[in-house]
Each structure stands twice: as structure tokens, then as C-alpha cells.
Structure 1
Amino acid sequence: MTVREVQITFDCDDPAALAGFWCEVLGYEVQSPPAGFASWEAALDAWGVPSEERNSRSAALPPAGESGPRVFFQKVLEGKSVKNRLHLDVRIAPGAAGDVRMAALEAEATRLSGRGALRVRRVDPDGRMETGFIVMQDPEGNEFCLD
């Protein structure tokens, strides 16, 4: 069986802003313009893309030398209306436990709240199976967990 590469796609209202937010969360970078263009604006000008369509998509990639899926953001007309059935768990403190783990999660929740995320709830470790996490929403309401 062949292992397949995946891309994570977000339907959203403001692809450029949401790409910038997720670059902050994941340590990614906004995808560079195609070869031969100094900027995305130059590429879009050359391709004749009208101004009202210029924020219809954006993408984020891991920095050079790092691995991870491409994250794609596409503008859609309808807004988010219900809880996501799929969400990202952003691994902030893998291997950490107890107070150390929760302090790392709290610090990241505070940092991301300053960049437009909304804190939804905290689940504390229970000494059995639950190691603790914080549920967040990105600026467009998509749920994710700091884990």
C-alpha cells in the first residue's frame, strides 16, 4: 500500500487572515509566490485576477527543512454553523504531565488568544486516562485543541 500525502483544507471567510493565524499556531509560513514573481500581488496581476477574487485562497507550509502537511484556506460563501466533526490537536506539550503540561498549554492558550483565538474550556488531568487539554477556536470559530 502507498502512503499518501495529505493536505488540510479550511473553508473560511478570510483566507489570508486565517492562514496568518494558523502560521502562528503551527510555526508555518505562508506559501511563497510562484517562481518568477516577487510577490503574490505581482503573480495575481500577471494572471489578471480581479481585486475582488484576490483573497479567495491562501496556503501555509512548514519552514524549509521541516515536514508537515500543507494547510490550504479557501473562501466559501456560507459561514460556519455547527461544531466541527474533525479538528486539529496541536501538540504543545507532548510527553509532559501534570502541572508542567498544563502550564505549557495555558501559556500557548494565552499567546493564541492575543492573536484572535477564543478559549472554550480546559480539561484537567484526571490521574487515569485524561492527560489534560484546552479547547480553543480560531478567529473564524473552527475548534482545535492544545494538547
Structure 2
Amino acid sequence: MTADIQITFDCTDPDRLARFWAAVLGYQLQPPPQGFDSWDAALEAFGVPPQERNARSAILPLEGSGPRIFFQRVPESKAVKNRVHLDVRAAPGAEGDARMTALEAEATRVQALGAVRLYRVEPDPATMETGFITMGDPEGNEFCLD
């Protein structure tokens, strides 16, 4: 059996986080249901109260395959380090200085979108470490530029 997966983020602002991750990953916001020009029109028609209209959001790949990423509002904020995180493959195949230069360029791009730089790990042939940069999304979820 082939599993079809969805990645889910618990968060306080689903719309903001969905827009951030769509820009980082080259995804798009999930379009509204057929027959509606916007999510607001759909939610109005479904009787969803205005204060609940940012309770969830989702993004989809623009082209090809990839998981749907779902964002759901929860009452509590993030409290500890993520046990699972995304690696954004920003420099596949690159090594050494070229790799780190590509990762720095991506770090600059995602910081402009609202990410926070946490730390950088240098390449180290002795440990087979290729180097990466750990970032935080607008709600503090860690992810790596790899």
C-alpha cells in the first residue's frame, strides 16, 4: 500500500502560517470549494462565524506531487522544541562553500518572509556533516535549510 500523507501544523494563526509556508515551499493556498470565488464566501455560505474563519488553512503543491500541508488553530502556543521538523532542500548536490552560500541565500529569502535564523552548522568531513542552517517559522517551529 502507498500512503498518502498530510503534514499538520498546530498553530495560533493558520492563515499567516499557511501563507508563509506556501511562499517558502513554492506551494499555493488551497482553492475554495467549487462554486465559490473565495474562502470567505464559502465560509459565509456554510454558516461559519467570522471569529472561526481562521481556524484552519491548507496549502498544496503548485505542480507535481507533494503532501498537502494543513494548519489548525490550537489554544496553546508552542512550548518546546519540535520532535519532527521539515528540511527544506535548498542546496541539493552542492558541497562545501558552494552549499553554504546557497543555504545563506535561502536563509536571507525566508527571513524576508518572516523566518528567524536560529543557528548554522558548518560542513565537517570528519563527521560526514554536510552543513545546514536551522530556522524558525513565524510561530517558532524549527526547520532546516539543508
Identity of aligned residues (%): 67
Which residue is equivalent to 1:99? Answer: 97
Give the whole-Å Cα distance in 2 for the aligned partners of 1:89 and 1:134: 10
Give the whole-Å Cα distance in 2 for the aligned partners of 1:41 and 1:88: 30
Structure 1 counterpart of 2:83, which letter? Answer: R
Which residue is equivalent to 1:50? Answer: 49
| 4+ residue segments displaced more than 2 Å | none
Shift of 1:3: 1.3
Give the whole-Å Cα distance in 2 for the aligned partners of 1:29 and 1:120: 26
Which residue is equivalent to 1:8? Answer: 7
Q: Pairwise mapping of residues 20-35 of structure 1 onto structure 2 (< 5 A)?
A: 20-35=19-34
Is there any run of 5+ residues in structure 1 with no aligned partner, and where? Answer: none
SS in 1 for 2:15: helix
Shift of 1:52: 0.4
Structure 1 counterpart of 2:71, which letter? Answer: F
Give the whole-Å Cα distance in 2 for the aligned partners of 1:3 and 1:125: 35
Superposition TM-score, scaled by structure 1 size: 0.97
Shift of 1:87: 0.4
Q: CA RMSD in A?
A: 0.7
Shift of 1:127: 1.8
Superposition TM-score, scaled by structure 2 size: 0.98
Is there any run of 5+ residues in structure 2 with no aligned partner, and where? Answer: none
Give the whole-Å Cα distance in 1 for the aligned partners of 2:103 and 2:22: 18
Structure 2 counterpart of 1:55, which letter? Answer: N
